[in-house]
Structure 1
Amino acid sequence: MQKLTQPFVKLSTANAELITRFAQSQDMVDLVNTSAQKYMELAQKTFGGAAASGAQADLIRSLTENYSTFAREHAESLMGMAAEAQARMSQQVADVTKIVNPAGSS
């Protein structure tokens, strides 16, 4: 079960780290440290400024990489589970065959 959930855990952890890094980036720190008197003006400009910032570009690129890694790891875990199921099924068929035909004659 851990193989199935591990990609989800890694994705959540990686995204939390990215969002924290984005929130603590110099661009965001400078924005937060501006005077309270200009709060309304900054609130109106925040999205335009953030969209043009290197911090947001890095966030989007890194989130995309995280989702790509997640998709790959999740697919790998599903393929591993399918391979295990196929191996178990083959073993069960072989076991049943031995029980049904113990002498091994056709």
Structure 2
Amino acid sequence: MVQITYVDAKGTPRTVKGEVGSTVMETALRNNVPGIDAECGGACACATCHVYVAEEWQDRVGPAEPMEQDMLDFASDVRPNSRLCCQIRVTPEIDGLTVTTPARQG
């Protein structure tokens, strides 16, 4: 299991365990993490699982693929470290990952 910390827009952290092979979005949903709506269920067809990846994790998580970048156009308050967490795979390399949810999705 991999530890992931989700920090809400008010700064409250919530650390949960994710299963290797799942996504950061699936992990959030399984653990009832607030702020991840995931309306498309992980199909990269919306922007309701938008998160900000902590700077120290950006290299390990990697950049957004072109399709994800297109979907981020529909997100609120997009930043250089914005990602859709449905596109971030849980791997042992991201054990300890911290992401922050925006004040609102979509």
Q: Normalised by the shorter chain, which TM-score bucket?
A: under 0.3
Relative to total residues, which structure has the larger strand share, 1 or 2?
2
| Structure whose CA Rg is larger | 1
TM-score by length of 1: 0.20
